[in-house]
Structure 1
């Protein structure tokens, strides 16, 4: 009984931390790196996206974000409530919900434009987490409201304005794909250049601490996809 109570308290503590997962990321950095090594970003996310079309209009974006092992290990402390050494869907369900609630404040770090006009989203649906090979993977869907035609200029960027979190599309052609009735739409993925990262490392931590969600600095490191449809 005492052991189960300890596990529950540990799980509750982790969930409270995860409710502000950006703040938790800073704690991860402090826990796994010496102070002199602290520099933005503090969390690394490998992104994949599916662009869902119906009747030749974009209706949703399905995100799959794989978090770096350090953050993943920190965020899941105490969540193995049955003590079997695994993290199943039920143990991660609450953490997925809390993360999605927190990401709402940041517009899910997703910016999209269709023919120069902003694309708007409803709140995320179908949120779930899985723990694979030492990393958390967050899955969720952003419904597009209203649906938009891709035309020749539909662009989607994923980035943190403060660059606290680094988002980079996974390597390979399947990092961003189109599903549904979009015909022969083509997807082009652009990832940040190494020279961009080198320039970032020359900036002080004080510079990043002064950034807000209204900043545009993080856009310089945006990972983006452009969908062109005939």
Structure 2
């Protein structure tokens, strides 16, 4: 059975989980389908919050169930689900909760969510949380939103474009979902990827170049 500390790293999508058993990882081992809702302010002129929902694969979900089912009844009660949520909350903090938010190519600081909620549905772990930018993001220029794991340990996928949503977008803005082609992304970032690897071969944040993004383009 996987040790609890290793599971925490697993939930945090840390490649260190494999390092702990003497291995290295360059591809995902945990998979999740995601939905992202961009919440606008009341006047629809700025981004107020991001709402995330992640549905994890059955294999990883069963590992979580085995590890956190303290009374061995093959389900997670409210207290056990809170333990899972607290573990995810602490594990993802140093990774900004896998969020990618930029305005005209510059990173935007997102506050930590007030809480992470978890549930089980059809034998799959569901994770939900909401985060807010440190300051509201005005709808101007090019704004990108995405989810990625900098360690490459977790693959979080938006299976349909509609799963990256924003309601009430003003007519001065357009939206599109960008799904980078891996070969093209590598070719376009070859030097940066090479330099990043030799500077830190244990891992970089360059996996964000492969992330599916919701891009808003807004005129002033």
Q: TM-score range by the shorter chain?
A: 0.7 to 0.9
The total of aligned residue pairs comes to 199
**Offset at 1:81?**
4.3
Runs (5+) with no aligned partner, structure 2 = 188-196
Q: Aligned runs of 1:24-63 on 2, under 5 Å? A: 26=17, 40-54=27-41, 55=43, 56-63=45-52
| 8 Å contact from structure 1 (residues 154, 227) kept in 2 | yes
Are 2:128 and 1:161 aligned? no
Report the equivalent of 1:176: 164
The C-alpha deviation readout for 1:91-143, integer Å capped at 9, x for no partner, is: 21121111111101111121211233321111112410111122211111111
Say what the alpha-carbon RMSD is for the aligned residues: 3.2
| 8 Å contact from structure 2 (residues 65, 75) kept in 1 | no
Report the equivalent of 1:188: 176
TM-score, L = length of structure 1: 0.72
Match of 2:85 among 87, 96, 99: 96
Q: Which runs of 4+ in 1 moved over 4 A?
A: 23-27, 81-84, 194-197
* CA distance in structure 2 between the aligned counterparts of 1:89 and 1:24, rounded to whole angstroms: 29
Report the equivalent of 1:211: 202
| 8 Å contact from structure 2 (residues 100, 146) kept in 1 | yes
Q: Aligned runs of 1:109-124 on 2, under 5 Å? A: 109-124=98-113
| 8 Å contact from structure 1 (residues 182, 229) kept in 2 | no
* CA distance in structure 2 between the aligned counterparts of 1:86 and 1:78, rounded to whole angstroms: 11
Q: Return closer, same or farther for 1:42/1:78 CA change in 2, 3 Å cut-off.
A: closer
